[in-house]
Amino acid sequence: MDFKQAIDYTNKFHILLRKINSEGTSLPGKYLRKFYPDFLSESQNYVTGQKFAITGTNGKTTTAGILAQILKEAQKTIIHNELGANMPNGIATAIAVGLYRNFKDNGEDASVDNFIIESDEAYLREIFENIIFDYLLVTNLFRDQLDRYGELDITKKKIQEGIRINPNLKLIINADDPSLYDIEKNIANDMIASRKKRKVYYFGFENVEFCDFDSKSNSPSEVIYCPICKNPLKYSKRFYSQLGLWSCDCRVKRPRPDVCAEVKVFRNYSILNVKFEGKSIMYKLNLSGLYNAYNALGAITCAYVAGIDRKIIARALDNYKPVFGRAQNTLINGREVALYLIKNPTGACEVLRGLKNIKNTKLMIAINDEYADGRDVSWLWDADFEVLKNFNNKIYVSGTRADDMALRLKYAGVNLGLLVIDNNIKKTFDFALKSMEEDEKLIVLPTYTALLKLNKIIKDKTR
Ligand SMILES: [Zn+2]
C-alpha cells in the first residue's frame, strides 16, 4: 500500500463511519497508523509553509479555529483537525482526510501551505516525534481532568518533553499564566547548555475591562505559588483564575509580552487593542468571554509571526464562526440554541459568569463521565454554579451523571422545583426544545461526549 492509497482508504472509511452516523474521528487514523506507520511523518512532505501546533488545558480548539480562519482569509490552504480530535489517531484521520480533499481540489501532488494541529498535552511528544513543527502555542495550564494525568506538573513535563525533542521549535506562550513561566525556563537552561537560544514570543493582556455585565470573577481563586521559589505570588491585576499581572519577591515575574493587548469584554463580543512592533490595532471579536479574548490573542500572535497582514486578520476575526460546542448558536425550528462545552472548573466558571442574571433563557446541563470527559466529576464542586442561585426558569439536567449535577445545583441554592432530571440526553433535549416559548433561548452546557451526542441530534434536526 502506498501513501496515496493509504489516504484513499482512510477517507473511504471515514465517509462510511459518518454515513452510519458514527463520529469516526479517530478509528480511521488508528488503522491508518497500524497499516502505514510512517503516515504522520510522511504527511509533512506535503506542507510547504509553517506548521503550528497548539496545546494547553483550555481554548485549544477555539485558538486553532481562529488561526485557521485567518490563514484561510489569507488564501492559504491548510490542514486542521477542526473537530477537536487531538490525540494521535484523530490527528492522523484529520490529516489523511485533509490531504485527500486537497489532492482532489488542487491536483494529485498538490501541497498545502500550513498545518494547524491542536494536540492533547499528554500526546504532544508522540506527535512531535513524527512531525517537525515550526511553532508551538501553549494557551494555559489549568487544573483539568486530574484523574487522567495526575498533577499539573506532570502535564507540564509532558509538554516539555515534546518541546525538547524539537530544538528548532519556536514557542508562543501566554505570559499572564505563571504556570507556563518555567516551561520556557527549563528548556532555556537546556538550550544554554547546547549554546542555542530558543525563540519565544509572549502574548498577554495589560488591562481587561468588563463593559455591560457583572465583572466579578467567580473562578476558583486559590493562592497561586511562584513556579520557582514556591512562595505565594503577588498580582497587580488578576483577570481570572491564575491569569494576570503577576510577580514574586524572588524577582521572578510575568515576562514582557511581545504582543500585548487591552480588551473590553461585552456580553456578546470583545474589542481588543493589540500592540505589536510599535503598531497598535483594534480588532472586534464576535465571541463572548475573556477566555475567548485570550484565544483570539494567541491566534493573532501566530498570525503576526506568520507575517499575515493586519487587515486580513481583522476580516477573519469578523467572519469567524465558532466550532461546534464552543459557543455556537444554532436555530432549531426557529428557536435559538447555544452550546458551551464545559470540562473543568476554570472553563465552567467563565461560561457561568456570562449566565448571571440572564433573561428569557432555559438551561440544560449534560454531564457524562466517559474517558474523554474525565471519569471523576468532583470538579463540579469547584465550578461556580452558585451564579444560578436566582435563576428562575427550567434547568434540564441530563447525562450519565445527572444526579451528581442535580445534587451540586441543590447545594448551589438553586430552587429544586426548576429542575427536570433525566439521564437520557436525547429525550431531555427534545423535551427542553418543546418547552421553549417563542422568545426564549436554550443554553446547553455539555461535557465532551455529551457534546458529541448533541452534535448528532442537532445535525439530524437541522438537515
Ligand atoms: Zn518566587
Distance from the CA of 125 to the center of ligand 1, in angstroms?
A: 29
Q: Which residues surround ligand 1, an ion (CB under 5 A)?
A: 226, 228-229, 248, 250, 252
Question: Average pLDDT for residues 222-245, to the nearest whole number?
Answer: 90
Structure confidence at residue 145 as a pLDDT band (50, 70, 90): very low
Q: Is 254 left (phi over 0), alpha (psi -120 to 50) or beta?
A: beta
Distance from the CA of 248 to the center of ligand 1, in angstroms?
A: 5
pTM of structure = 0.79
Helices of type H across 124-267: 124-130, 146-149, 152-164, 181-193
Distance from the CA of 226 to the center of ligand 1, in angstroms?
A: 5
170-221 tens-digit pLDDT: 999 999 999 999 887 766 666 555 656 789 999 999 999 988 766 555 555 6
pLDDT higher than 50, residue 6? yes
Distance from the CA of 58 to the center of ligand 1, in angstroms?
A: 25
pLDDT-above-90 percentage for the chain: 62
Fold annotation for 38-76+113-319? UDP-N-acetylmuramoyl-L-alanine:D-glutamate ligase (3.40.1190)
**Cα–Cα distance for residue pair 30/79, rounded to 1 Å:** 18
Distance from the CA of 205 to the center of ligand 1, in angstroms?
A: 21
Instruction: Name the more confident of 442 and 463.
Output: 442
Q: Helix, strand, coil: what percent of the chain each, to 5? A: 40, 20, 35
pLDDT-above-70 percentage for the chain: 92
Distance from the CA of 155 to the center of ligand 1, in angstroms?
A: 21
Distance from the CA of 215 to the center of ligand 1, in angstroms?
A: 29
100-130 tens-digit pLDDT: 999 999 998 899 999 999 999 999 999 999 9
**Cα–Cα distance for residue pair 173/379, rounded to 1 Å:** 26
Q: Of how many residues is the chain composed?
A: 463
**Cα–Cα distance for residue pair 186/249, rounded to 1 Å:** 20
Distance from the CA of 457 to the center of ligand 1, in angstroms?
A: 50
Distance from the CA of 60 to the center of ligand 1, in angstroms?
A: 28
287-298 tens-digit pLDDT: 888 999 999 999
Distance from the CA of 141 to the center of ligand 1, in angstroms?
A: 18
Distance from the CA of 255 to the center of ligand 1, in angstroms?
A: 14
pLDDT of residue 195: 54
Longest dimension (CA), the chain: 66
Question: Average pLDDT for residues 300-315, to the nearest whole number?
Answer: 95
**Cα–Cα distance for residue pair 242/223, rounded to 1 Å:** 8
Instruction: Name the more confident of 173 and 351.
Output: 173
Q: Strand 270-276's sheet: what is its strand order?
A: 78-80, 114-118, 51-55, 135-138, 170-174, 200-210, 259-265, 270-276, 279-285
Distance from the CA of 249 to the center of ligand 1, in angstroms?
A: 6
**Cα–Cα distance for residue pair 271/262, rounded to 1 Å:** 8
**Cα–Cα distance for residue pair 199/195, rounded to 1 Å:** 13
**Cα–Cα distance for residue pair 130/37, rounded to 1 Å:** 10
Structure confidence at residue 434 as a pLDDT band (50, 70, 90): very high
Same fold, 38-76+113-319 and 326-462: no
- In this structure, what C-alpha cell is assigned to residue 388? 444560578
Distance from the CA of 225 to the center of ligand 1, in angstroms?
A: 8
Q: For the chain, which residues make up each domain, given as ranges?
A: 38-76+113-319, 326-462
Our CA dihedral for 418, 419, 425, 426, rounded to 10 degrees, sits at: -40
pLDDT of residue 65: 94
Distance from the CA of 265 to the center of ligand 1, in angstroms?
A: 31
395-432 tens-digit pLDDT: 999 999 999 999 999 999 999 999 999 999 999 999 99
Question: Average pLDDT for residues 87-95, to the nearest whole number?
Answer: 95
Domain 326-462, CATH number (from 3.20.10.10, 3.30.572.10, 3.90.190.20, 3.40.20.10): 3.90.190.20
Collapsing DSSP states into helix, strand and coil, what is residue 65? helix
Q: Which residues are within 8 A (CB) of 104 and not within 5 positions of it... i.e. 6 or more apart?
A: none
